[in-house]
């Protein structure tokens, strides 16, 4: 049910039970979660998040992928399409483990996810909800061709988080990929 995408260096694939340990470690890292949840995530919360990511595919027909590095098979994070109840729209999002930052992996995987979205979903615009202080994710959004839009509160587990809504239209994406 979950399609497999490949880029030059990465495989975007279904989650496997053996991914959980690496996923839990990523979500327990305060540097990773600083702009996501504000604090490290407990193993039980990481489990629920991973299960929710898998369930997203059943409920929406799209979701995030486990990102595997081709050279060594390492699980490096999750990237893909997010649109939970109450979200401002279909989002392309990325969360990678800290050891994998700064290598262009987020951009590479997000670009593949963005292409998948525009080729399979009837949306005119894709979003990325980014904390106003998260300069690294803003740089990824710029490399994807997204532009910064309005600021709004995003509600996660009943708590409001401030996010800038970055976006790219289908027409902009098409022109960029012509």
Distance CA 56, CA 83 (A): 8
pLDDT for 1 equals 84
pLDDT at 37: 80
pTM of the model: 0.96
At residue 68, φ and ψ (nearest 5 deg) are: -115, 135
Residues 116, 81 contacting (CB under 8 angstroms) = yes
pLDDT of residue 120: 97
User: What is the pLDDT, as a whole number, of residue 74?
Assistant: 98
d(CA 22, CA 76): 8
pLDDT at 94: 98
For position 151, what pLDDT does the model report?
A: 97
Residue ranges covered by each domain of the chain:
5-176
The matching CATH number, chosen from 3.30.450.20, 3.40.630.30, 1.10.540.10, 3.40.1190.10, for 5-176 is 3.40.630.30
For 31, 38, 162, 167, the CA distances from 28, given in Å and listed in that order, are 9, 11, 21, 28
Residues of the chain with pLDDT under 50: none
pLDDT (0 to 100) of residue 158: 87
C-alpha to C-alpha distance for 12 and 80, rounded to whole angstroms: 9
């Amino acid at each position: 049910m979950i399609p497999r995408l490949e880029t030059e260096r990465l495989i975007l694939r279904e989650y496997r039970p053996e991914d959980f340990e690496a996923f839990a470690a990523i979500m327990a890292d305060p540097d990773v979660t600083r702009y996501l949840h504000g604090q490290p995530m407990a193993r039980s919360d990481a489990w629920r998040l991973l299960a929710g990511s898998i369930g997203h595919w059943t409920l929406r027909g799209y979701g995030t992928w486990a990102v595997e590095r081709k050279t060594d098979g390492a699980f490096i994070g999750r990237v893909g399409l997010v649109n939970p109840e109450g979200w401002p729209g279909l989002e392309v999002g990325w969360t990678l483990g800290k050891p994998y930052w700064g290598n262009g992996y987020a951009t590479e995987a997000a670009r593949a996810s963005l292409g998948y979205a525009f080729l399979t979903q009837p949306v005119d615009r894709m979003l990325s909800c980014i904390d106003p202080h998260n300069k690294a994710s803003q740089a990824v959004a710029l490399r994807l061709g997204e532009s910064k839009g309005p600021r709004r509160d995003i509600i996660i587990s009943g708590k409001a988080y401030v996010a800038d809504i970055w976006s790219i239209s289908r027409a902009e994406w098409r022109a960029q990929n012509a």
